[in-house]
A and B are shown apart, each in its own frame.
Chain A
Amino acid sequence: AQTVTQSQPEMSVQEAETVTLSCTYDTSESDYYLFWYKQPPSRQMILVIRQEAYKQQNATENRFSVNFQKAAKSFSLKISDSQLGDAAMYFCAYSRGGSNYKLTFGKGTLLTVNP
């Protein structure tokens, strides 16, 4: 079974600085996707960034980037120039490749942004 582990229950960062959230996963599949979702107090899960396992290049979306280490099964999220609106729960998630397979989530990291 696939598992996703987030070892940092809480993290904090000063506004405008950079923070990295960690995630490791375990799978025997070769075709899969990895995701970072953000869940603010509004409760809605918002997709932050997605990485396809067969792509060696790390995904980037504006201030958000990932460090995908396939051999180490590590998938960290870097948030640059942190903003107050980045404060939320962040979940790392895994999905097998193919047709709309289920998401397996980690337990989440609560990110606090200090002004």
Chain B
Amino acid sequence: DAGVTQSPTHLIKTRGQQVTLRCSPKSGHDTVSWYQQALGQGPQFIFQYYEEEERQRGNFPDRFSGHQFPNYSSELNVNALLLGDSALYLCASSGTGASRASPNHFGNGTRLTVT
């Protein structure tokens, strides 16, 4: 039973560029959430996708956008990269959108470095 998988593992980009991160949820899960974890900090919620729509959004600018595909996998896109976007990006999946606090399963994250 595959868990949450994220790609790539590491990424180096230049300021102003655009980046796409990918996430495949755990088998049987239909809800995907994205978090940004700066060095030495706890993860911060970016947004959540369910039924291919953004259902919740944290306090992040419009440069951060996402998508969910019919197979429940998801992408996180960041445009016009800033040095401050350097962080570990974590994907979490959970099952059955209407369930109560279905435990989130996390991937190993994508380490993004912006130079």
Partner-B contacts on A (CB < 8 A): 4, 33, 37, 42-47, 50, 52, 91, 93, 95, 97-108
Contact = CB atoms under 8 A, between A and B. Distances in A.
Contacts, number: 70
A56 to B, nearest CB: 17
Contacts of A45: 43, 90, 92, 104, 106
B45 A100 contact: no
B107 interface: yes
A47 B45 contact: no
A107 B41 contact: yes
Interface stretch (B16-24, B63-71, B78-86, B94-102): B94-102
B109 A44 contact: yes
A91 B98 CA distance: 25
B99 to A, nearest CB: 7
Nearest to A6: B42
Contacts of B31: 100
Contacts of A99: 97-100
B28 interface: no
A102 B33 contact: yes
B8 interface: no
B115 interface: no
Nearest to A93: B42
Contacts of A93: 42
Interface string B42-83: 111100101000011010000000000000000000000000
Given A102-B56, A104-B45, A33 B108 contact: no
